[in-house]
Structure 1
Amino acid sequence: MITRRSLLHTTLSTAALGVTPALFAAPPKRKFKLKFAPHFGQFVAHAGESLVDQLKFMADEGFTVVEDNGMMERSTATQETIARTLQQLGMSLGVFVVAVGGNENKLFTTGHEDNRRNFAKACEAAVAVAKRVNARWMTVVPGVFERKLPIGIQTANTIDVLRAGVEIFERENLVMVLEPLADSPDLFLRTADQAYAICRAVNSPACKILFDMYHLQQNQGSIVASIDQTWSEIGYFQIGDVPGRLWPGTGEINYGNVFKHISTKMRESGRDFIFGMEHGPWQPNKQNERACIDSYAAINAAL
């Protein structure tokens, strides 16, 4: 069986003979109708620890996008290797997290005079990484509540800080996506409607919602209705079933219906999205990794 890994080896071997490598090209096993994006570490049992081999395995399975929350923490050499491999495989990068550093949990809501400057500095660093790895989307999490301040004041402070970021991202045609989270009740941003209001106030194409269905199912539910209500400000989706944060079909969310609804809206609006697979399996296990891939193949077949 010809895989992309063997194809890359064949390409190098045949180049010396003057044979056109494209003649040996084999299509992936499937072509997903939506841009499902695995993350590094998700298929280690099949591909091993090498990031390059993991990308080759993802490409063999028909995935065209990968996401990597920790991209900014990787060395420049590793970032360049990832970018080069993505280009060779015809893949692209989804979100990575804007690494603020320091006391980032208090960066947005407090109104401290240094907050805008510190966030802008982090965004400048993120732009450099985005250019290196040819990425467009970056996750931003607006930290925790400042319990000494009213919620309206915290919201205004957060909007001010985000505006410092969009001034940088707009120039580069990059987008930060704000992610409501369910990890702790202390977090400031928790629902899609709250993120929607903030994005409308920031009023920039460089500030949109990361609609993570795993977190929002826990914090608010009504996923389909919420997608409709906040559609104009959604820039990116992420996936995970509840409970367990595993692949679709392992929990309570009817992802088949959710994806049919999103696909219909995409056709009607002409919009396109990446769907980050930010979920387990969390340990190397071939059976679970294959079950994860098969769950997306089943969704794909039903669309």
Structure 2
Amino acid sequence: MLYTDRAFIDRFEPVADLGADAVEFWTWQDKDLDAVERELDAHGLDLVGMVGTEGPLTDPGRIDETVAEIERSVEVAADLDCPTLFVLTGDERDDASRARQRELVAEGLEAAAPAAEAAGVTLVLEPLNTAIDHPGYFLEAAEEGFDIVRTVDSPAVELLYDVYHQQVTEGNIIQTVTENVEDIGHVHVADVPGRYEPGTGELNYPNVVEAVEDAGYDGYFGFEFRAKEESDEAIQAGLSLRE
């Protein structure tokens, strides 16, 4: 979402130059992974997250295909020393009950969990807002996401808590994170409105980050935001939250 005026492979250097020590990106299937590894090594960066599947875990006719996609992504993540895979549910369907679709999501994660456990990779299930960015998406509420994670009951399955999506959906960020931090495997940040960098909108991000860390979260904060003006300035705004 940053340095979109550059070719993907040319985005690693400026991030490192600004002081970041890690990166994440979305899909790996459309990337030159050998080139990615060279850039990571050249600039001393870790790859900490990428998309393991965009679903549909909600489709009973494609659940085996989706699980196989996650398992293949686990192999790729292990090869890249990437500890986290983002898992999306896919859209809500009208040919199965919501309860059945929720069961399918849990069953799919349960089926993929042994491969993730063996590889030391964490699958993080992500709720998304349906009001602005992802109309029709199945999993919107953090509480339902936590319930699914607890149903699966695997150390390799946790929740991706995206502060932007959950502020749009339901708010109550600090209390939700504090009460459920043991099931959060990754955090994304962006401000509301606009999905720009922290400090551009309504969220008090210094308070949010401090509360998340005080609750016991010690992982990365992924910068899943657009730059309101310049990418350099946006990244610096994000990095300043943990100075």
Letter in 2 for 1:71: W
| Percent of paired sites with the same residue | 28
List 4+ stretches of structure 1 deviating above 4 A. Answer: none
In 2: Cα distance, 1:175 partner to 1:250 partner: 31
User: Higher mean Cα deviation, 218-227 or 141-150?
Assistant: 141-150
1:86 aligns with 2:40: yes
State the Cα distance separating 1:281 from its structure 2 match.
1.9
Greater gyration radius: 1
State the TM-score, normalized to the length of structure 2: 0.90
Residue in structure 2 matched with residue 225 of structure 1 by the alignment: 175
Letter in 2 for 1:193: E
1:49 aligns with 2:1: no
In 1: Cα distance, 2:122 partner to 2:80 partner: 15
Structure 1 pair 109/256, CA: closer, same or farther in 2 (3 Å)? Answer: same
Structure 1 pair 124/299, CA: closer, same or farther in 2 (3 Å)? Answer: closer
1:272 aligns with 2:222: no
Residue in structure 2 matched with residue 263 of structure 1 by the alignment: 213
3-state DSSP of counterpart to 2:29: helix
Structure 1 pair 111/54, CA: closer, same or farther in 2 (3 Å)? Answer: closer
Q: Which runs of 5 or more residues in structure 1 are unaligned?
A: 1-40
In 2: Cα distance, 1:246 partner to 1:108 partner: 29
Letter in 2 for 1:43: Y
Check the 8 A contact 1:123/1:168 in 2, yes or no: no
Structure 1 pair 290/173, CA: closer, same or farther in 2 (3 Å)? Answer: closer
Check the 8 A contact 1:123/1:165 in 2, yes or no: yes
State the TM-score, normalized to the length of structure 1: 0.73
Q: How does 1:7-156 map to 2 (within 5 A)?
A: 42-43=2-3, 48-49=6-7, 51=9, 53-74=10-31, 78-99=32-53, 104=55, 107-112=56-61, 114-115=62-63, 117-156=64-103
Residue in structure 2 matched with residue 35 of structure 1 by the alignment: none
C-alpha offsets along residues 87-135 of structure 1, whole Å, 9 cap, x if unaligned?
Answer: 23221112211246xxx4xx323434x51x2122102321232133221
Check the 8 A contact 1:80/1:132 in 2, yes or no: no
Letter in 2 for 1:138: L
State the Cα distance separating 1:243 from its structure 2 match.
0.8
Letter in 2 for 1:279: F
In 1: Cα distance, 2:52 partner to 2:71 partner: 10
The aligned length equals 240
- Provide the alpha-carbon RMSD of the alignment: 2.1
3-state DSSP of counterpart to 1:168: helix
